[in-house]
């Protein structure tokens, strides 16, 4: 086991789940772990407290003339439930068949740590100034990072932003992501009567918020995959013929993609290919629903309350605030008679597209090809890294999104993993990039 | 505190929740408690084991010439959750403002125990043979009672069946129920992919069983309250003009009914009054739903699984088996592409209507009027006592359904209660009935 791998395992043992306040001490521990590691590498480090989870900021200067690379990542992880589906416990990292299984291994501890390991590998040969911003709220969107970025714009100045929180196109096929979807998150809470009711005594005469939730969800997105919120598609940038052609050339097998997730069909918006749907079209998913009796057997109850969590993925040029407002207005319009509703915002982020022809992008292409022995492809990503849009707005620098995860890494699912070869090549790619960017920008 | 009340409190302390296997020892304790009590009153008692919860059977003979009254009830109770909404713990019976608060106080321990107390009060003056069947699976429908009844038809022979597991029309207004709705219970389990997926990477391209559940529930019952299962209404007996007139005369205030449950509207099938909808029209309710992330904050997941529990309330002449089959066929027809479905039956029971002009019904009318100082009304009930249909089929005797609960007893909800005056009058009504039935049938 390499030194880098054994240190990553140590980092992964910390259950830094940002969504669950019970883990607040663990997010602090993860931040302190990074602080110690980066200080040992000669960085000056600040662990900036926030209302929730601290931000780790670190910088190492090699010279005024050298270009500056800003690297962003996050040390927080998704909740690990359902726990019973993990083959080995989420916070006891385990290597099986060349893969490292642990919550956060791919998203994003493994990927951000690869950059730290690359700086360590370069040692005194580091040719660029390096700044790290590693936050603890990426999975929850509490909104504490952006105000901190705004207050710290001056010291964050850099020539390029590098983010590794995404996937390669396929094993062995490096990718540079030029588009990210934006996101709007909200929770919808519904109430009928003031208390749970007997479904015999009241059935046929009382409001049932589970039905209200079902009617509303069915009106949000139809079985044809179309989102029915008026105005939702108004500002969606059409997919250009060039981009369609680019997608068609990618080594992507729709059947293999479905088989990998055990799906018998991949339903979605009509008239678009699967890659188009997950990269370049907006979507809407209910991520959680609850109401009434969920235990064994039956309980003849009409519940007083039900609710659901909603996420929408946006594409350029949709604006999250506009989509939030349109969604709220629509939910109010379709709320059936006899129900009260609360809508709780849970965060939002803008979609991003970055130009392919900057020196930073070209340096990344060289770095990846050298590490993997294969030309990198340019792709988009269905996921959201909302902070990228904020960095771009605040700093006005190009962003290089080079991801080292794989689509079967089980992000946000049980048995999350990171292939060891990807970890190793990520370190190599980052090292190559720092060297190559020094040349191209120097 | 009367002896009867302090004994009922003892009985209510036993958390005999039949739906939860963790309480299997408690259902046994409740059965043993009844056995001891009935033996002390001179009954010969058998506690008959079943695959789940035992049946308590007891009989006391006063003479060959005397008529025989069979009394049915249940000692099992609904699960008490959500626990945090109880003002006092569900299994620590508490008297407040003349009401006894405890899970099972009204449904059905308080009501069945009133009959036991009536027999005790009569002592050696008991003028009829009495048989008790007190089961422990009424709230779950595991189906163990009916086979036992079939095996024991001979010793169950009686002249009337008395059941007290229903409500009065209003405080102080006794009622004899001549109609009960039937029921069909099932659980629907849906699966999309084989594992939970990231809603960014896969959103727009992967099946989401929460949406499938919403689409299906919206297709089961529309916002107009109409059930859309083909053939569902085919055998529904229309409400006769006479019965409509009877309903119109009842002292029932729709606004007060809604206000009592804190509802802002009482939505339901168009063209029918509220009493018609809850007594004489069938309905469909989802009693529970689940899927995805239900914790704090957000989790950007597309869940692999979701599910819901469904109950349908039936009226004469709907047949539960036919409705079950129609529902299953419809669910299969509307299952969207890309999903697997399991349908788990959770029990069923037939609807019942009993004639108003039998001697037993007339004896009940006299007994109730004498206890309450007010003429009893004849009504139907929205709930189901599936076993009544089975008793009628097996024994061919009239059934007297005289309930002593109230609509605000919070059956199946937190803070279930039984008014002390109703408990007292229930004992008196039962004693009157035993005396009056001896005369009328003697």
Q: Spell out, as residue ranges, where chain A has pLDDT lower than 70.
A: 442
A143 lies in which domain range? 3-180+351-441
CATH at B189: 3.30.70.360
Question: Of A289, A316, A349, which marks where a domain is finished?
Answer: A349
Question: Of A349, A365, A385, which marks where a domain is finished?
Answer: A349
Active site residue A76: yes
Is the residue at B191 inside a domain?
Answer: yes
H helical segments located in B108-205: 109-122, 145-151, 153-156, 199-202
A338 Rama class: left (phi>0) / alpha (psi -120 to 50) / beta: left
Asked whether the beta carbons of residue B187 and residue A261 sit closer than 8 angstroms, the reply is: no
Helix axes B24-40, B109-122, angle to 10 degrees: 10
Q: Spell out, as residue ranges, where chain B has pLDDT lower than 50.
A: none
pLDDT in tens, B11-53: 999 999 999 999 999 999 999 999 999 999 999 999 999 999 9
**Are both B222 and B301 inside the same structural domain?**
yes
Q: Which residues contact B25 (CB under 8 A, 6 or more apart)?
A: none
Which residues from B are below 8 Å from A287, CB to CB?
199, 210, 292-293, 298-303
Burial of B421 (0-12, 13-18, 19+ CB in 10 A): middle
A19-25: Cβ within 8 A, 24+ apart:
A19/A78, A19/A79, A19/A139, A19/A140, A19/B295, A19/B296, A19/B297, A19/B298, A19/B299, A20/A79, A20/B295, A20/B296, A21/B296, A24/A52, A24/A53
**Are both B355 and B343 inside the same structural domain?**
no
Asked whether the beta carbons of residue A265 and residue B293 sit closer than 8 angstroms, the reply is: no
Q: Give per-residue burial for B103-126: e unless 16+ CB within 10 Å, then b.
A: bbbbbbbbbbbbbbbbbbbbeeeb
Closest by CA position to B180, among listed A197, A203, A303, A208: A203
Burial of A98 (0-12, 13-18, 19+ CB in 10 A): exposed
Which of A80, A181, A297 is best to mutate for the B interface (most B CBs within 10 A)?
A: A297
**Are both A123 and A75 inside the same structural domain?**
yes
Is the residue at A260 inside a domain?
Answer: no
**Catalytic one among B35, B107, B138, B409?**
B138
Q: What angle do CA A256, A258, A261 make, to 5 degrees?
A: 105
CA distances from A186 to A189, A280, A387, A388, B296 (A): 10, 22, 18, 21, 12
Is the residue at A176 inside a domain?
Answer: yes
Q: Which residues contact A327 (CB under 8 A, 6 or more apart)?
A: A184, A186, A229, A232, A310, A312
Give the pairing type, strands B68-74 and B160-163: parallel
Which residues from A are below 8 Å from B346, CB to CB?
297-298
Cα separation, B407 vs A205, whole angstroms: 13
Nearest chain B residue (CA) to A185: B298
Q: What is the ipTM of this complex?
A: 0.77
Question: Of B324, B349, B374, which marks where a domain is finished?
Answer: B349
DSSP B407: T
Which residues from B are below 8 Å from A187, CB to CB?
298
Is the residue at B14 inside a domain?
Answer: yes
How close does chain B come to A343, measured CA to CA in Å?
Answer: 13
**Are both B286 and B378 inside the same structural domain?**
no
End-to-end Cα spacing for chain A:
36
Cα separation, B230 vs B238, whole angstroms: 18
Q: What is the reported pLDDT for A257?
A: 85
Q: Cβ distance B374 to B366 under 8 Å?
A: no
| A255 at interface of B, judged by CB pairs closer than 8 A | no
Q: What is the reported pLDDT for A196?
A: 95
Which 3 state secondary structure label does DSSP give B310? strand
**Are both B190 and B117 inside the same structural domain?**
no
Is the residue at B245 inside a domain?
Answer: no
Nearest chain A residue (CA) to B265: A338
Asked whether the beta carbons of residue B287 and residue A301 sit closer than 8 angstroms, the reply is: yes
Backbone angles phi, psi at A389, to 5 degrees: -65, -40
| A296 at interface of B, judged by CB pairs closer than 8 A | yes
Beta partners for residue A352, in sequence order: A180
Cα separation, A428 vs A86, whole angstroms: 30
Q: Cβ distance A93 to A102 under 8 Å?
A: yes
Cα separation, A21 vs A156, whole angstroms: 29
Nearest chain B residue (CA) to A19: B297
**Are both B10 and B141 inside the same structural domain?**
yes
For A11, the token pair is: 């980092």
Cα separation, B418 vs A112, whole angstroms: 62
Number of domains in chain A: 2
Asked whether the beta carbons of residue A204 and residue B269 sit closer than 8 angstroms, the reply is: yes
Is the residue at A232 inside a domain?
Answer: yes
Q: What is the reported pLDDT for A442?
A: 67
Give the pairing type, strands A160-163 and A68-74: parallel
CATH at A78: 3.40.630.10
**Are both B363 and B339 inside the same structural domain?**
no
* Cα B266 → chain centroid: 21
* Cα B134 → chain centroid: 14
Burial of A22 (0-12, 13-18, 19+ CB in 10 A): exposed
Is the residue at A258 inside a domain?
Answer: no
Active site residue A81: no
**Are both B46 and B123 inside the same structural domain?**
yes
**Are both B318 and B190 inside the same structural domain?**
yes
* Cα A165 → chain centroid: 7
| A206 at interface of B, judged by CB pairs closer than 8 A | yes
**Is residue A348 within a helix (H) or strand (E), and if so which, with residue range?**
strand A340-349
For B21, the token pair is: 């296997």
CA distances from A351 to A178, A385, A387, A390 (A): 11, 8, 10, 10
Question: Max Cα separation, chain A?
Answer: 79
Is the residue at A288 inside a domain?
Answer: yes
DSSP labels, B189-237: EEE-SSS-EEHHHHTTTS--HHHHHHHHHHHHB-TTS-B-STTTTTTPP
Q: Cβ distance A274 to A250 under 8 Å?
A: no
**Are both B355 and B344 inside the same structural domain?**
no
Cα separation, B110 vs B75, whole angstroms: 9
| A251 at interface of B, judged by CB pairs closer than 8 A | no
Q: How many CB pairs under 8 A join A and B?
A: 363
**Are both B111 and B99 inside the same structural domain?**
yes
Q: Where are the beta strands (DSSP E) in A1-54?
A: 44-48
Which residues from B are below 8 Å from A295, CB to CB?
19-20, 79, 81
**Are both B372 and B303 inside the same structural domain?**
no
């Amino acid at each position: 086991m390499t030194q880098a791998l054994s240190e990553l395992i140590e980092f992964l043992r910390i259950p830094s789940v940002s969504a669950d306040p019970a883990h607040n001490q663990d997010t602090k521990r993860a931040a302190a772990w990074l602080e110690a590691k980066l200080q040992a590498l000669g960085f000056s480090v600040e662990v900036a407290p926030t209302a929730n989870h601290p931000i780790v900021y670190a910088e190492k200067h090699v010279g005024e003339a050298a270009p500056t690379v800003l690297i962003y990542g996050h040390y927080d992880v998704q909740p690990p439930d359902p726990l019973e589906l993990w083959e080995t416990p989420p916070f006891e990292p385990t290597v099986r068949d060349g893969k490292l299984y642990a919550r956060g291994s791919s998203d994003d501890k493994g990927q951000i740590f690869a950059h730290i390991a690359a700086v360590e590998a370069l040692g005194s040969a580091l040719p660029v100034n390096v700044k790290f911003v590693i936050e603890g709220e990426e999975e929850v969107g509490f909104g504490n990072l952006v105000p901190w970025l705004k207050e710290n714009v001056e010291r964050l100045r850099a020539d390029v932003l590098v983010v590794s929180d995404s996937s390669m196109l396929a094993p062995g096929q490096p990718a540079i992501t030029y588009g990210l979807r934006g996101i709007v998150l909200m929770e919808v809470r519904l109430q009928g009567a003031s208390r749970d009711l007997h479904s015999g005594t009241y059935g046929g005469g009382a409001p049932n918020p589970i039905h209200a939730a079902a009617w509303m969800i069915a009106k949000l997105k139809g079985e044809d995959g179309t989102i029915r919120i008026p105005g939702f598609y108004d500002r969606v940038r059409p997919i250009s013929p060039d981009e369609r052609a680019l997608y068609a050339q990618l080594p992507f097998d729709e059947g293999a993609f479905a088989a990998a997730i055990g799906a018998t069909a991949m339903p979605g918006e009509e008239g678009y290919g699967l890659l188009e749907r997950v990269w370049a079209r907006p979507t809407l998913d209910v991520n959680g629903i609850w109401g009434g009796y969920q235990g064994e057997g039956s309980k003849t109850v009409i519940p007083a309350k039900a609710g659901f969590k909603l996420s929408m993925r946006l594409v350029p040029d949709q604006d999250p605030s506009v989509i939030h407002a349109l969604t709220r207005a629509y939910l109010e319009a379709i709320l059936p008679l006899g129900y009260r509703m609360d809508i709780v915002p849970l965060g939002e982020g803008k979609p991003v597209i970055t130009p392919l022809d900057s020196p930073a992008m070209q340096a990344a292409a060289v770095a990846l090809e050298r590490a993997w022995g294969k030309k990198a492809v340019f792709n988009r990503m269905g996921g959201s890294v909302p902070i990228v849009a904020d960095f771009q707005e605040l700093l006005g620098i190009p962003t290089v999104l080079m991801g080292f995860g794989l689509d079967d890494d089980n992000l946000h699912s049980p048995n999350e993993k990171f292939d060891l070869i990807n970890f190793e090549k990520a370190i190599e790619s980052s090292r190559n990039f720092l060297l190559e960017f020094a040349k191209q920008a120097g």
